[in-house]
Structures are given as structure tokens and as C-alpha cells.
Amino acid sequence: MVTDRRSNSGNSLSGEKIKPEILEGDERGISRLDSRYSRLNRSLLLCAIAVALSSINYGWVIGSVNIPALVIEECSDGPETWTSGFPSCIPMGSIMWGLVVGLTPLGAWAGSMFSGVAADRYGRKRILIINNAFFIAGALLSSTSTSVAQLGTGRFVSGIGCGVAANLVSTYNSEAATVRSRGFLGGFQQLMILMGIFLSQVVSIGLSAAPLWRILFSISAGLAIFQTLVLFFVPESPRFLAKAGQMEESRAALQRLRTNLDISIEFEDMVAMLDAQAVSAATPPPTLWQVLSGKTEVDLRHLVFCVLFLMMSQQWSGAKGVMFYSTEILSSTFHLTTSERHHIPSIAQLLTLGIGAIGAVAVIIGMNILDKAGRRTVLIVSSLSTSICAALIVIGSKLDLGPMVATAMYLFNLVFQSGVGFVPYLSASELLPYNVLGSISGLAASVNCLTLFVVSFVFPILDKALGPYLFTPFIATNFLTFLFGVLFMPEAKGKP
């Protein structure tokens, strides 16, 4: 029998630093290691990957329009022709294309509005399974599009799936993670999104010509079907099960996530925390208006401002513009002729692949330094570096130096994804008390998605209007994020 030794090691609920201790094993063969001190074990990693397949699909949806954009909107592969009832392209202007691309984050906003409430009622795993229906429906609509309206509808429906995934993947991973693996898993969602973007762009090289771009869009449905099957082997969130009163199921789920580790004290800590929250829940939680107006026992307006600012700053950085439109930007930067743009792969398409790959590497770097350097430090360094890289892109564009622009775009994505790209995803759960987390998380997700919609829509318009000065606004927005980090952002490193 394992005894509770928290009097010697410190209570994990207090946030105090506690030293690892060895516990006696039992007849079931459970390791003597206390699960509270574990980092990332194999079972937890595999479950996190299975859940994050939704994030890969998210990345696939937003990345798959980049390389074939000219083929679809400008019919660059040749005049529009119809084969078996489907057009080879769907011609439209840059403003309409920006709207079609922007409908995905608008759908994500819609998904984020109901996902939290649904997951609290039915479970994280079940809603992720149901959510795959949106990915499948959106992929079918997009891949069989015969008009701008149908393509836009498909992008919006897929966006709903993206919004649900963005909310629930981070929720599940934060609830499944140990304290020592939370920083790593906090960036895991962004890593998987970038992996999805990169994979979509690799496949786009072979599927961007007409009518193969339809196959490219349909792959999202295949990913959703595959994840649906995999999720049946993944345990539900132990915290959700415990909160629903299913204690034995919760213990079993936690043990599956902590294979060969002793979960006794960690499980007791989790139950005690939920009991304390249940006591506080006897008093109705403050409304959103009460939180925003400061009419709570502790004024939370500063923390709420920090969370909302971080979620906006992630999208107004210009990074998503690079992800959506880098092929078109680089084609113009290198003055590719019509025949060179038609050649697959073009230099712009190959450079776009590199941008996606370096983003994934950057997130891995950020995930490994986050718990050492702290969230605030990582954000400050990342945002200032991103602002400098945006300035270098403008200088290179003005001087007509294609290699300089491409290099600066690589560096831009590297420094952004290593900090500003994923720190906002951790902000709500680490800065806000639990009794207001639901309402503020929903608001933050909405702000994030609506900001992305605006950026996605106006980016091609800014490209036409500003030309070589396209990234000038993003010099200012990223520097504003730097000032916010220096002046306002609190540190959340090590919070339980």
C-alpha cells in the first residue's frame, strides 16, 4: 500500500517546489516513481498525438490553399474547362479569394463558441470524434466545388472543425499533462498544426495542378476518418471523468496516461482540487460582464486583458499571411514569369515548403526552452525578433532582393513559431482562476478567430495596395506585442 507522504514532499496544490521521492511498488507491478514528478511518458505522448491529429487536420485545411491558389483563383494552369461535371478552376478576384480563405477562421470562430460547453457536458474525446464530421463535410464540399459559393461554404464548415479542434486539443492535453510536461504539451498543438501545414504543402507540389487540387482538399476527410478510429483507443480526460463523478473510470484513465507510474497521490490531488472547485461552484460563477467590468471578488481585468491581447497578437503578427499567401508573395518577389509560375515545382513553391518545415522546428525549440526561460521571456524575445524580421522583409522587397526576402521570411517564421506562435494557447488556463475560465476562454478563442479572419481577408488587399511595404503594419503590431510583454505580461511559469 502506498502512503501519502505530502507532508514531507510538499503539497502539489500549493504550487511549492517539491522534491521527487521513491514510493514502494505494489503487487500490480506499478513503478515506484510518483507520477507527479514524471515528464513525458510513452502512453501520454501517444494519446497526445492521437488527439492532436485534429490539429494536423487544422493545419492541412489552412495550408492546402497556399500552393494551388493561382491555379484555382486565376486559372494559371490554363483556361477553365469542365470534366465530368467539375471545372478545372474557379476564377475569382483577389478580394473574393481573400474572403474564401478567411471563411475558414470565421468558421473556426463559430466552432469555438460551442465547443467548450459541449465538451464540458459530453466529454473531450466524444466531441472530438463528433467534430470529425465537420472536417469530412467540409472536405467533400471543397473538393467537389463548382462555384465560389460552394468552395466558401466548404471552407467555412471545415473551419468549424478547426475551431473545435483548437479549443479541445489544448484542453485535453493540459488536463492529461503532468506539471513537468505541461510546457511541452502546451506547444504540441501548434507543432501539430504546423506539421499539417507542412504536409499539405509537400503533397500540394504533386496535387496543385488542375483538377488534382480537388484530391488535395479531400485528404482532410481521410485524416478525420483515421482519427475517429484511433480515438476509440484513447482514454477520456481523467479530470472530466472525475468531475462527472466517475471516479473509477477517472482513476483508470489516469493510470493509462501514466503507465508504470504510481498515480495514488496525483489522483488524490486532482480529486481534492475538484472538490475545492465544487465548493466554490456553490456560489454562481461571475458573469462575463461582471468579469470584464471588475465586479468580482478579485479584480481580474488585468489578467483578462493579457489573455485577450495575447490571442489577438498571435494573429495580427502577419504569420498566418505568410502561411496562406507565401507562394504568391515569393512568386512576385522573384518576378516569376507566367511559364515559371506554371512549372511545378516553382522556386516559390519550394521555398514555401521550407517555411513550413522551419516553423515546425521552431516550435520544438520553443517547447524545450519554455519551462526553463519562462513564458514572458520567450514572448518578449520572440515578438521583438519577429518585428525585426518583418522590417528585413520590407527592406529586401524595396531593394528588390529576392534571396533577402526569402531568408527574412524563414527567420520570421522561425522566431515567431518559437514563442508568439504558441504562448497564447497557454495563457488562459495558466493566468485565470477556474471559475471564470470557461467564459473567458470562449471569448479569447472568438477574438483569436475573428482577428485571423480579418487578417486573412485583408492580407491580399494589403498586398495589392502596399506592394513592397506589405509587412510594414506587422513591424508595428509585433513591436506592440514586445512592449506588452515588457510592461504588462505576468509570468506563469511553474503554475500548477
CA 171 to chain centre: 11
More confident residue, 283 or 253: 253
Question: Is there a contact between 479 and 366 (Cβ–Cβ < 8 Å)?
Answer: no
Check whether 8 has a pLDDT greater than 80: no
Q: Report residue 216 as a C-alpha cell.
A: 488535395
What average pLDDT does the segment 359-379 reach?
83
pLDDT of residue 480: 96
Torsion angle (degrees, nearest 10) of CA 69, 71, 75, 76: 110
List of residues 6+ apart from 303 with CB closer than 8 A: 431, 432, 490
- Give yes or no for residue 4 having a pLDDT over 70: no
What pLDDT does 277 receive?
A: 67
- Angle of helix 148-176 relative to helix 94-122, nearest 10 degrees, comes to 40
Whether 172 has a pLDDT exceeding 80, the answer reads yes
Range of lowest pLDDT (23-27, 93-97, 332-336, 409-413):
23-27
- Distance from CA of residue 46 to its chain's centroid? 18
Spacing of C-alpha 147 from chain mean position: 30
At 30 the pLDDT is 43
pLDDT over 70 (residue 162): yes
pLDDT tens digit sequence for 220-264: 999 999 999 999 999 999 988 988 889 999 999 999 998 888 888
Higher pLDDT pick, 142 / 191: 142
Neighbour tally for 490: CB within 10 Å: 13
134-143, 187-196, 306-315 — most confident range: 134-143
Q: How many CB atoms lie within 10 A of CB 305?
A: 13
pLDDT tens string 83-112: 888 999 999 988 898 889 889 989 998 998
Predicted confidence band of residue 15 (pLDDT cuts 50, 70, 90): very low
How far apart (Å, rounded) are the C-alpha atoms in residues 87 and 404? 38
Residue 278: per-residue pLDDT: 66
Residue 8, all three cell numbers: 514531507
| pLDDT of res. 22 | 44
pLDDT digits (tens, 9 = 90+) for 395-428: 999 999 989 999 999 999 999 988 888 888 777 7
Q: What are the grid coordinates assigned to 237, written together?
A: 480526460
CA distance 443 to 466: 32
